[in-house]
Amino acid sequence: MSDAQLNPSTAAIIGGGVIGGGWAARFLLCGWRVVVFDPHPEAEQRVADVLNNARLSWPALSDFPLPNEGELVFVDSVAEAVAEADWIQESVPEDLKIKHKVIADIEASAKASAIIGSSTSGFKPGELQEGASSPGRIMVVHPFNPVYLLPLAEVVGGDAVDKSARDRACETLRAIGMMPLVVRKEIDAHIADRFLEAVWREALWLINDDIATTEEIDEAIRMGFGLRWAQMGLFETYRLAGGEEGMAHFIAQFGPCLSWPWTKLMDVPELTDELAHKIASQSDAQSGAYCIRELERIRDRNLVGILRALKDRDWGAGTVLAEFDKRLARSDAFDIPGTIDSSGPMRILDLSVLPAWIDYNGHMTEFRYVQVFSDTCDKILVMIGMDADYVATTGAWYTAETHTMQVDEIGANQRIYSTAQMLMCDSKRIHVFYRLHATEDDRLLATCEAMYLHVGRESGQVCDAAPAMIEKAKHFADAHAGLPTPDAVGRYVGQR
């Protein structure tokens, strides 16, 4: 799969629970056709719930136009689901007999080239491959919830997996904005869940011994080391704790405590009815004011904010999002289409208003309107051919003049979209009129008129753009030539 291949392929999702639904959303919002099989009577509704959450959050992570959403199909058998699939993701319950039966059904009907991934957190690939007719393409691809936001996928092939199949799996994951972590050797619970299991065991003891409640444990994580782990992980965090002398000093200073009786990692309290009730009642007291869907949306909004902050700094998980944007920017799918709808301005951006964009009045702050219009301009320039190579070798479009008007207010987490109307273009100039609307009722929120000049990289002076770029821009302008000139064009500040 090339960097630009974000074209619709087909993914089969076997099992449509929380994880399977998350996989379906990830593939679907990256333009894939997704076929789901799950015999549960509420499978379609469960997947719809996950997908609705994903639609609210996933687009907010990208700074480039995403592919058109793919087609979602539910079928009545594994055979129907996998027949045309390029990627098959098994997310059925953690029962090896069930998984073996499902994998056998998949192999009986799948294309020979299809990748077969399992979302299992507990079984090793060698266990999944037992009795398989094509073990070389069966591997663990273990994601993290929510799959449509968190980039990590542990890829575990074992000795039997075909290296080329594993490499294709990793490239596919990158193409849908994920970060494949290839696990070197088969091991129970892979890598990440081994850490989670250790923390879980210790937490059970803290509750069992009445040292802490579920809420107090969660506060310790989310107010402290969880924030460090989100962008530096374990070892880089401890390296900093060693000061100028680094990791060696940290180990020398804190290594002896490993022999102290701090933890009970080799033991676990018996999960009696009493302990289970204590945990459940404390969790109800902690979070019972919200339904699951509300908690999911709160989680997703927080993750989008954290991930975007990391992306702005090209750090941690943000580097994966930045790489995905580069793929989108290079994708031929975002050229100006051969036929542009001439009945109205072109819709460019669809996004959510992030909580960080809100001012003291509870509405989107002024400079965020400008930011959205600037991002809209960036997408148009990419569409007409101003990619990184063009900027590095030829030139770029510079903003010469803008006039922005705020018309209405919008609050946190509300959906908005932008449009662009090309008023005029020639070899050196582009004149564009932007509008920003509330998605819910299409009401106008703001407008921006802008003039851009093409500047040569070597000369630093206004000059002609590349002919192919001019042709694309004129195609855009010709399609909009019959549209009414917006009332705000040419206005000056304070004009009534």
Assign 17 a pLDDT band (cuts: 50, 70, 90): very high
pLDDT bracket for residue 337 (50, 70, 90):
low
pLDDT higher than 50, residue 3? no
- Interatomic CA distance for residues 328 and 68, integer angstroms: 12
pLDDT at position 319 is 92
pLDDT digits (tens, 9 = 90+) for 185-202: 999 999 999 999 999 999
The SS3 call for residue 432 is strand
Q: Assess whether pLDDT exceeds 50 at residue 2.
A: no
Dihedral pair phi/psi, residue 388, rounded to 5°: -60, -35
Is residue 135's pLDDT more than 90? yes
pLDDT score recorded for residue 254: 75
Query: Are 106 and 90 within 8 A, CB to CB?
Result: yes
pLDDT (mean) for 454-474: 95
CATH of segment(s) 335-480: 3.10.129.10
Average pLDDT over residues 201-208: 94
Task: Answer whether residue 241 shows pLDDT above 70.
Answer: yes
Tell me whether the omega of the peptide bond preceding residue 467 falls within 30 degrees of 0, making it cis.
no
Instruction: Give the pLDDT confidence score for residue 345 in this predicted structure.
Output: 95
Task: Determine the topology of domain 10-182 in CATH.
Answer: Rossmann fold (3.40.50)
The span from the CA of 9 to the CA of 55, in Å, is 20
> Domain spans of the chain?
10-182, 192-312, 335-480
The yes-or-no answer to whether 10-182 and 192-312 have a common fold is no
How many C-beta atoms surround the C-beta of residue 327 within 10 A?
A: 19
Domain 192-312 sits in CATH 1.10.1660.10: no
| CA 131-136-141 angle, 5° bins | 95
β-bridge pairing 179-182 and 415-425: unpaired
More reliable by pLDDT, 160 or 266: 160
Handedness of CA 62, 64, 65, 69 (dihedral sign): negative
Report the relative pairing of strands 444-456 and 429-438 from DSSP bridges: antiparallel
Nearest to 306 by CA among 296, 323, 321: 321
More confident residue, 161 or 354: 161
**Sign of the alpha-carbon torsion through 51, 54, 56, 59:** negative
Amino acid at 95: D
What type of residue sits at position 174? R
Instruction: Average the pLDDT over each of 30-34, 65-69, 427-431, 450-454 and give the range with the smallest value.
Output: 65-69
Q: Rounded to a whole number, what is the distance in angstroms from the first to the last CA of the chain? A: 55
Confidence of residue 481 (pLDDT cuts 50, 70, 90): very high
Asked whether residue 4 carries a pLDDT value surpassing 60, the answer given is: no
**Which residues lie across from 72 on neighbouring strands?**
34
Beta strands 138-143 and 72-74 are unpaired
